């Protein structure tokens, strides 16, 4: 166990295929780098690594709601999991090229004040040539509950103006910048301004084409993917976002109508798999 510059404890995993760093606060993966390659995850140079504050970059866990709380905007944006202290359950060396880590978060008096349900949350991380991250929600309550969530992945890119995404053609999306539904993607997605879209019916792998590499993002357990880059104007209002040109969020999510109902003693899994093509 090591400490970040803001004294957050984190796990540092290294094997023959890759290395990763995961803070216990938020079960937050803030570094993943296959050997011989540049890091795949972006973290802001001005990100806060302090207790109780969300880290700008890596893979924040948004749970049990995505974005603002649907009825009470005084509650934490993107839920409370990303700023809660998780437990390190185990680390397993599968072989020289793969390491598995499991972290857990259970309901508590503090969580029940924010969200009135008993739950068991697990994050399973497989670190190897690819990064596989699975968030498992188990309902430990006597009544069913509905969640929205996201593995809010920030990918590292060279220059957003030259990046495009394949795999979205003819998919419908909600455009948050215009608050408009029923938009249809035509061809590749390019970035020339602020982009904040929730794409639906996504079942195939998305390809993020950068100047020197292609990053692939595969989603399991949902059909919703959020694509976000703040653009210049919005980025200037965000003090913890250092350079919008070198990041792109491609988030595996359950959002909008893709909000699973989880019955007592049942579980839901959402997975993102990140690799280079």
CA distance 60 to 63: 9
Q: Is 152 a catalytic residue?
A: yes
Element (H, E) at 121: strand 119-127
Q: How far apart, in whole angstroms, are the C-alpha atoms of residue 19 and residue 31? A: 8
Q: Exposed, middle or buried: residue 50 (CB in 10 Å: 0-12, 13-18, 19+)?
A: middle
Residue of 152, 186, 209, 268 marked active site: 152
Cα–Cα separations (whole angstroms), residue 172 to 128, 207, 223, 230: 33, 17, 11, 21
Which DSSP category does 239 fall into? T
| Catalytic choice (98, 251, 266, 268) | 251
Please list, in sequence order, all residues whose beta carbon lies within 8 angstroms of the beta carbon of residue 201, skipping any fewer than 6 positions away. 171, 172, 223
* Active-site residue flag, 209: no
Query: 212-244: buried (b, 16+ CB within 10 Å) or exposed (e) per residue?
Result: eeebbbbbebbbbbbbbbbbeeebeeeeebbeb
- Which residues carry out catalysis? 152, 251
């Amino acid at each position: 166990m090591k400490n970040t510059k803001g004294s957050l404890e984190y796990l540092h995993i290294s094997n023959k295929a890759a290395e990763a760093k995961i803070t216990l606060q938020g079960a937050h993966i803030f570094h993943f780098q296959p050997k011989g390659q540049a890091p795949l995850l972006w973290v802001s140079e001005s990100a806060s690594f302090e207790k109780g504050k969300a880290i700008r970059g890596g893979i924040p866990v948004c749970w049990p709601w995505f974005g603002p709380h649907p009825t009470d905007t005084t509650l934490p944006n993107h839920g409370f999991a990303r700023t809660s202290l998780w437990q390190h359950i185990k680390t397993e060396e599968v072989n020289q090229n793969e390491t598995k880590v499991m972290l857990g978060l259970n309901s508590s008096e503090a969580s029940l004040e924010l969200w009135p349900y008993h739950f068991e949350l697990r994050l399973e991380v497989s670190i190897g040539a690819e990064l596989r991250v699975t968030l498992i929600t188990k309902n430990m309550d006597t009544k069913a509950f509905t969640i929205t969530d996201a593995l809010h992945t920030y990918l590292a890119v060279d220059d957003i103006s030259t990046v495009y995404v394949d795999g979205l053609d003819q998919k419908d999306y909600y455009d948050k910048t215009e608050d408009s539904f029923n938009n249809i993607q035509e061809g590749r997605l390019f970035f020339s301004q602020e982009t904040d879209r929730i794409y639906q019916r996504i079942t195939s792998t998305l390809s993020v084409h950068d100047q020197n590499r292609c990053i692939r993002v595969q989603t399991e357990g949902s059909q919703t993917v959020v694509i976000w880059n703040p653009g210049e104007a919005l980025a200037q209002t965000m003090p913890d976002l250092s350079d919008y040109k070198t990041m792109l969020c491609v988030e595996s999510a359950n959002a909008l109508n893709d909000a699973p109902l989880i019955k007592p003693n049942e579980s839901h899994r959402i997975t993102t798999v990140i690799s280079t093509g």
